Amino acid sequence: MSAATSAAMIELLNNYIAGEWVAGTGEGVTLSDPVTGEALVRVSSEGLDLPNAFRHARNEAGGALRALTYAQRAARLADAAKVLQAKRDDYYAIALANSGTTRNDSAVDIDGGIFTLSYYAKLGASLGDVHVLRDGPASALSKDQSFSVQHVLTPTRGVALFINAFNFPAWGLWEKAAPALLSGVPVIVKPATATAWLTQRMVADVVDAGILPRGSLSVICGSSAGLLDQVQAFDVVSFTGSAETAATLRAHPAFVARGARLNVEADSLNSAILCADAQPHTPAFELFINEVVREMTVKSGQKCTAIRRAFVPEATLDAVIDALTTKLSKVIVGNPRNDAVRMGSLVSHAQYVNVLAGIAALREEGVLAYDGSSASPVDADPAIAACVAPHLFVVNDPDNATLLHNVEVFGPVASVAPYRVARHAEALPEAHAVALARRGEGSLVASIYSNDDAHLGRLAVELADSHGRVHAVSPSVQHSQTGHGNVMPMSLHGGPGRAGGGEELGGLRALGFYHRRSAIQACATAIDALAQLAHLPAP
């Protein structure tokens, strides 16, 4: 059997553009099971009429979405969430086969995506049956109060293009699409090729249910070639991926010449800081250890928010290493179809190669304190499976280290480094740790662990300028805290500098990216009439 004949026997997933299902031309790319190597499906975006896809989304689909009120669009989101909820078992099966994740890890992606969609459905219902949002109260422009200004937010008359990463094919879709569709902006999603199957299936289920206006949710699987060339002035683009690719995107004429909006979430050397008071055998110490291990192993460390650097007091370093290696030694890696396996594979062989290269790089300045690769993966052929066991490094001189603060290994890899505790009464004990965390040049999240609730507040403020989110954990919230790496729709997701400088989620704040702000200056009567047509969201 020839390679061409063999490829033709594997299902080719259709793309959905301009309100129609369309197959790409050519053989496309074959998606494989990262554990067994089995070919699953093919994807191709070759030969698609991209100008028509964007034109239909902007005009027909965009107009139909904007004709609905915020509350009506919210109801559509709620219906979509119900469709997805009813098909969860199908999504788990796809994630197992295409991403190599355990059921618990698949839940982070699948259930997290559905929860986020449901959250925005509820949030949108509170905006009411209006088509415009007021941005704050009116302000007088004249002494006699007869002439005023009212700022308003209206949906941009363009397309929201999402270029997503491979690690969250479900959540990555819905955390962006929910606020976009609620805003009245049609969506075209280009999922990462390696794990595009789950995204395509979810879009297909919502499309087939007839919930949204025709063509308002499109999916293109395969190459992204030519997509940015279609982006016009009032379109918005959201990218999740490497800083290198983001730099290429930023230089595109769509943003430089045409002024389209671009939101980027890129590399992030996230930190966890064990506070000076969190001595061994205290609750905060145990919470820190548990969280570092969890963030190293959930989704095999393939999370943009995972802990990459853990900073601990010098005197506590040995105890931390002992505690972490003890827990890591109990992590069983292999085929997620085996109930004993706690951590599955990476999503692809290419990712496997990248992670091994990153581990080799970190060896140049770090000491490997735990190397789980001595044990073969369970129920998996090590010559085929993209399984990488946890690796924990120790970097004893973080001040003079460079790779620690610059190389993000996107897998089950983290580094521990000691910091000097300030002893002056007026100084922040963790000032050195804060300085080390800032060496990451902007991160999505930092987590801090202390037995002193009040102290966490002071430390969080010190970290806020260089982190999109600060996750403060003490014994008082050990059962309610949501986790260092869990992105909740109520909280901001994004980070400055190296992390991309973008912002997503954060409740109603997410809608700002998909709206245009305008100042309407008019007489008081006109402003009062406008107020009856527009909703003023709660701050």
Active site residue 265: yes
Show Cβ contacts of residue 444 under 8 Å, excluding neighbours closer than 6 positions: 265, 268, 270, 304, 305, 467, 468, 469, 493, 494, 495, 499
Residue with tokens 């291990």: 293
CA distance 155 to 530: 16
Q: Where are the alpha helices (DSSP H) in 209-281?
A: 243-250, 253-256
CA distance 393 to 358: 12
CA distance 86 to 94: 15
Strand ranges, E, within 110-257: 132-134, 139-140, 147-155, 160-163, 187-190, 217-219, 236-240
Find out whether 234 and 258 touch, Cβ atoms under 8 Å: no
CA distance 50 to 139: 44
φ and ψ at 93, to 5 degrees? -65, -40
Q: Which residue from 489, 480, 430, 436 is spatially nearest to 455, judged by alpha carbons?
A: 430
Residue type, 89: D
Choose the catalytic residue: 175, 221, 265, 291: 265
Active site residue 291: no
CA distance 196 to 219: 10
Choose the catalytic residue: 221, 275, 304, 387: 304
CA distance 57 to 49: 13
Give the DSSP H/E element, type plus range, for residue 369: strand 367-371
CA distance 37 to 341: 18
Helix (H, G, I), strand (E, B) or coil at 195: helix
CA distance 226 to 486: 33
| Active site (catalytic) residues | 265, 304
